[in-house]
Structure 1
Amino acid sequence: MYNNNNSTPSSSSSSEAGDARSSVFNPGEPLRQPRTTPPVSDGNSDCRVPPVLANSGHNSSSAADALVKNSKLSAAAPEFVPGCYASFQDDVYSDEAEGCYAESSLAELVKDFVSHLNSSPGSFESEIEYITDTLNSWVTTEEILQELVELIYVQSTSLPNFAYTGARLCNHLSLHIRLTPPDGNFRQLLLKRCRTEYERREEAVRGDRETQKKFHSYVLFLGELYLNLEVKSGKGTPGRANVLLGALKDLLNALFSHPDDPNLICAVKLLKLSGSILDDTWKEKGQSDMSEIIKKIEEILLDAKCSRDVRQMLLKLVELQSSNWGRVLSAAVSSDATPDNDPNYFMNEPTFYTADGTPFTAADPEYSEKYQEILDREDYFPDAYEENGNESSCDDDDEMDPEIEEAFEKFCMESDAKRKK
């Protein structure tokens, strides 16, 4: 090996030996650190380089021996977890990781949370408490609260398919963010931010393609917000934000005032999303707002030069509204239900198959005949596989395992079908 003074090897043999040992123990060029691994810090962190490796005076052999001697790894361990591994909830933003991770900004924090919820929306219930607690530790001033509202609003209106989860996130934070400055709490600041876009609606519907796209994302997010945002009333029971009810009507009118294809598609999506709730709410208030909207759609169908596909979407929407948004007004009591008075009578009935594989249920007019045919065929199967007049190999007194019985019946049905062919 080379000495500390960078002199040449004393002999060729010692050089060869040094090169061999160096190739075994020296790490050479350090590997690039993965994104999930924190950078090396100078603090007293678990992630710092062991002193035995940091001391250049030790030779490679002693360093390797020390690693083996001090290692806590075990070949019998059920799983391997890197020393600086951090789970989403426990370590990434915990105090213990301060020595390993550089302090992140609120924007990065929100982006990470939103990215996680967008990729795993099913984890919302299990993660939301941790997310809320973390944000509460950050939101200590009115300026930070306003920044948080803006960050979540931008993510909810720009990230594809995040409007629903974003509305749920906004609802939870509006109920659990503790800071309530004089200028408004989280919910009030969020509604103020939404009003800013609402006031630009007339210009947005006539803007260029990019402007319309952003506006349409905002409209659909506001629809989700109306369905998910809970506002506590004086009676203590949560209800929807009525201020959004009138805003949605004005947004629909703005979209219909400039009936090009993108605006009409956005209006159809909004009505499919929230039309039934809007209709019910307006009827409860004695208002005919939905009838006015449907009338405008019918006028557009007569006069507007929209594409054939968009025209078909509008026709389907009018048909959907006329059928009470596809809902059944009332279902018969289960004890009194019949196929005539309950459209869901056969909903949970099992599906059977004939010998040729045709499916049928209790709703089929020939159900009785087909079901009897199956029963007759099942009675016939045991005798079909008796050999030389001997008793069947299956003892009727012994019950088969359900899975074996199902497999056996399937085999018999397939054999019978092949035989008939």
Structure 2
Amino acid sequence: MYNNNNSSSSTPSSSSTSSEAGDMRSAVFSPGEPLRQPRTSPPMSDGGAEIRSLIPSGGHNSSSTADALVKNSKLSAAAPEFVPGNYASFHDEVYSDVSEDYYPETSLADFVQDFVSHLNSSPGSFESEIDYITDMLNSLVTTEEILQELVELIYVQSTSIPNFAYTGARLCNHLSHHIRLSPASRNFRQLLLQRCQTEYEQREQTVRGDPETQKRFHYYVLFLGELYLNLEVKSRKDTPGRANVLLGALKDLLNTLFSHPDDPNLMCAVKLLKLSGSILDDTWKEKGQSDMDEIIKKIEDILLDAKCSRDVRQMLLKLVELRSSNWGRVHTASVSSDATPDNDPNYFMNEPTFYTADGTPFTAADPEYSDKYQEILDREDYFPDAYEENGNDSFCADEDEMDPEIEEAFERFCMESDARGKK
């Protein structure tokens, strides 16, 4: 095996109320401070009948309506955070139409497809959803055959969905430590590495395949790079470390890509080295090996002889420069006020990383930063018009717009919090 107030209503009345809720309103709302009324009537879905009963027949814009909404709000000033009522987690999405005591029958393939789609569209929810996902998988994976099916499903998703390699590698690392079924012969991690081994052994055929076959091979290469960076393996000293069994495989894959120096293969190699080059270089140096020197020599030879496009040639040159500057790292501290892009290789280290439409990462350090960033802005400006309901309602509401019920409840929440803090 290979080695992130305009008000037009009257002030709320407290003279006719003797309950604790009325006392709280009079304490929180100072006299003469109006409560902003909702711009539209409260939504009639999800408990609409209950809300309708609170609206007087004389109209929507009355203080009694607002008071009733506030009185019936389930918000608390002691709550750690404000969560809109329409927020739904992956668990809510899966079981939104069933009771809490009933778990519908679901196939492993359907469940994997669902949660991968969720994580791909909302990668920031990984930490909050992964425990639930793991619990569900543990209830479904009961035999070694099902475990092998799970590995294949996740491998296929991680090597076929653009930009999912990082999340897929994190997922694989978590499951390798938390899937309870762990046969002595082949556990989750061993099955995963065995599946990667199968693809590795076919590299010479796939690298020369048709464009679609090549694309799948490139996804595999980048996934293996992410797997090397994220998969934790405990050593004999019981300390977590990287899966160094992948180290030799990554070198061989780079050599395979450079041996067939067309533009797609070279672009894949550059992406892999930008992703993991510094870690690979450090690891090889620790082992007393000069593997990265050999790779850089291959790149220099390609720059002299290969007939690659101008853009790819520029990418290769920038990669050689990056390695010559120790992958953009410095070991001596410098005064931050004196740092410039010209004298400090770490100047852009804390800048955010963006991605182009085809998934190419870039930062402010890249020469084409302005053009690429403008492309992202143009693409985002297109989104509000791209999604519409009933042909006229924009999917993306104005930043100032908020559901009336949520707006009133949130305003009440903030005021209660302020009053609580002053006590």
> TM-score by structure 2 length?
0.59
Per the TM alignment, residue 95 of structure 1 is displaced from its structure 2 partner at its CA by 12
| Aligned position for 1:214 | 216
Asked if 2 retains the 8 angstrom alpha-carbon contact of 1:265 and 1:310, the reply is yes
> What is the rounded CA distance, in whole Å, between the counterparts of 2:90 and 2:201 in structure 1?
39
Please list every run of 5 or more consecutive structure 2 residues that lacks an aligned counterpart in the other structure: 1-48, 55-68, 75-86, 349-423
| Aligned position for 1:392 | none
Query: Which deviations, in whole Å up to 9, do the C-alpha atoms of 1:43-76 show, x marking residues without a partner?
Result: xxxxxxxxxxxxxxxxxxxxxxxxxxxx877635
| Aligned position for 2:65 | none
| Aligned position for 1:255 | 257
| Aligned position for 2:136 | 134
| Aligned position for 1:309 | 311
Tell me: CA distance 1:95–1:340, structure 2 relative to 1, closer, same or farther (3 Å). closer
Asked if 1 retains the 8 angstrom alpha-carbon contact of 2:169 and 2:231, the reply is yes
| Aligned position for 1:116 | 118
Between 100-109 and 286-295, the greater mean CA deviation after superposition: 100-109
| Aligned position for 1:266 | 268
Asked if 2 retains the 8 angstrom alpha-carbon contact of 1:339 and 1:345, the reply is no
Alignment of structure 1 residues 379-418 onto 2, 5 Å: none
> What is the rounded CA distance, in whole Å, between the counterparts of 1:346 and 1:204 in structure 2?
39
| Aligned position for 1:294 | 296
| Aligned position for 2:106 | 104
Tell me: CA distance 1:198–1:345, structure 2 relative to 1, closer, same or farther (3 Å). closer
| Aligned position for 2:361 | none
> What is the rounded CA distance, in whole Å, between the counterparts of 1:172 and 1:232 in structure 2?
13
Per the TM alignment, residue 345 of structure 1 is displaced from its structure 2 partner at its CA by 11
| Aligned position for 1:402 | none
Tell me: CA distance 1:146–1:97, structure 2 relative to 1, closer, same or farther (3 Å). farther
> What is the rounded CA distance, in whole Å, between the counterparts of 2:96 and 2:234 in structure 1?
33
> What is the rounded CA distance, in whole Å, between the counterparts of 2:239 and 2:132 in structure 1?
26
Tell me: CA distance 1:87–1:143, structure 2 relative to 1, closer, same or farther (3 Å). same
Asked if 1 retains the 8 angstrom alpha-carbon contact of 2:329 and 2:345, the reply is no
> TM-score by structure 1 length?
0.59
User: Which amino acid in the other structure matches residue 215 of structure 1?
Assistant: F
Alignment of structure 1 residues 280-291 onto 2, 5 Å: 280-291=282-293
| Aligned position for 2:323 | 321
Per the TM alignment, residue 181 of structure 1 is displaced from its structure 2 partner at its CA by 1.2
Aligned residue pairs total: 272
Alignment of structure 1 residues 114-193 onto 2, 5 Å: 114-193=116-195
Give the alignment's Cα RMSD to 1 decimal.
Answer: 3.2
Tell me: CA distance 1:87–1:252, structure 2 relative to 1, closer, same or farther (3 Å). closer
Asked if 2 retains the 8 angstrom alpha-carbon contact of 1:91 and 1:97, the reply is no
Asked if 1 retains the 8 angstrom alpha-carbon contact of 2:109 and 2:153, the reply is yes
Query: Which deviations, in whole Å up to 9, do the C-alpha atoms of 1:362-386 show, x marking residues without a partner?
Result: xxxxxxxxxxxxxxxxxxxxxxxxx
| Aligned position for 1:38 | none
Between 277-286 and 113-122, the greater mean CA deviation after superposition: 113-122
| Aligned position for 1:201 | 203
> What is the rounded CA distance, in whole Å, between the counterparts of 2:347 and 2:110 in structure 1?
52
Per the TM alignment, residue 182 of structure 1 is displaced from its structure 2 partner at its CA by 2.9
Asked if 2 retains the 8 angstrom alpha-carbon contact of 1:259 and 1:300, the reply is yes
Per the TM alignment, residue 308 of structure 1 is displaced from its structure 2 partner at its CA by 1.0
> What is the rounded CA distance, in whole Å, between the counterparts of 1:267 and 1:103 in structure 2?
43
> What is the rounded CA distance, in whole Å, between the counterparts of 1:94 and 1:180 in structure 2?
32
Structure whose alpha-carbon radius of gyration is higher: 1
Per the TM alignment, residue 94 of structure 1 is displaced from its structure 2 partner at its CA by 9.7
Asked if 1 retains the 8 angstrom alpha-carbon contact of 2:329 and 2:346, the reply is no
User: Which amino acid in the other structure matches residue 239 of structure 1?
Assistant: G
| Aligned position for 2:94 | 92
Asked if 2 retains the 8 angstrom alpha-carbon contact of 1:226 and 1:245, the reply is yes
| Aligned position for 2:332 | 330
Query: Which deviations, in whole Å up to 9, do the C-alpha atoms of 1:390-417 show, x marking residues without a partner?
Result: xxxxxxxxxxxxxxxxxxxxxxxxxxxx
| Aligned position for 1:225 | 227
Per the TM alignment, residue 339 of structure 1 is displaced from its structure 2 partner at its CA by 4.2
Per the TM alignment, residue 104 of structure 1 is displaced from its structure 2 partner at its CA by 1.9
Asked if 2 retains the 8 angstrom alpha-carbon contact of 1:256 and 1:296, the reply is yes
> What is the rounded CA distance, in whole Å, between the counterparts of 1:105 and 1:142 in structure 2?
16
Structure 2 residue matching 1:158: 3-state secondary structure: coil
Structure 2 residue matching 1:326: 3-state secondary structure: coil
Asked if 2 retains the 8 angstrom alpha-carbon contact of 1:171 and 1:230, the reply is yes
Per the TM alignment, residue 151 of structure 1 is displaced from its structure 2 partner at its CA by 0.6
> What is the rounded CA distance, in whole Å, between the counterparts of 1:271 and 1:345 in structure 2?
18
Asked if 2 retains the 8 angstrom alpha-carbon contact of 1:338 and 1:345, the reply is no
Asked if 1 retains the 8 angstrom alpha-carbon contact of 2:90 and 2:115, the reply is no
Tell me: CA distance 1:173–1:261, structure 2 relative to 1, closer, same or farther (3 Å). same
Structure 2 residue matching 1:140: 3-state secondary structure: coil
Query: Which deviations, in whole Å up to 9, do the C-alpha atoms of 1:217-246 show, x marking residues without a partner?
Result: 000000000000000011111000011000
User: Which amino acid in the other structure matches residue 326 of structure 2?
Assistant: N
